Amino acid sequence: MDERAKGRVYDVCHEMRGLASALEAAAHGEMAEPELIVEYASGQISRLSDMLASAIVGSRQD
């Protein structure tokens, strides 16, 4: 895996940690609006899975 692909995977990992922090805050009642939290998490998971797939496929093509 080249440096560019590693950087993309790192970006996904970093954003996943941010999502995990948001979900943890929600679980502890530090955030309101459960519907918005679920919508945000769903969007992030979808986006992150696309980013990860792109990083993996990109590393095979580079």
pLDDT at 31: 82
Low-confidence residues in the chain, pLDDT < 50: none
The DSSP line for 23-50 is HHHHHTT-S--HHHHHHHHHHHHHHHHH
User: Could you tell me the residue range of the domain that residue 42 belongs to?
Assistant: 3-61
pTM of the entire predicted model: 0.73
The count of C-alpha atoms lying within 13 angstroms of the C-alpha of 22, restricted to the half-sphere facing its C-beta, is: 18
In the chain, the number of structural domains is 1
Q: What angle do CA 45, 47, 53 make, to 5 degrees?
A: 100
Average pLDDT, the chain: 86
pLDDT at 29: 86
Place of tokens 């996943």: 16
Residue 12, token pair as written in the block:
């996904």
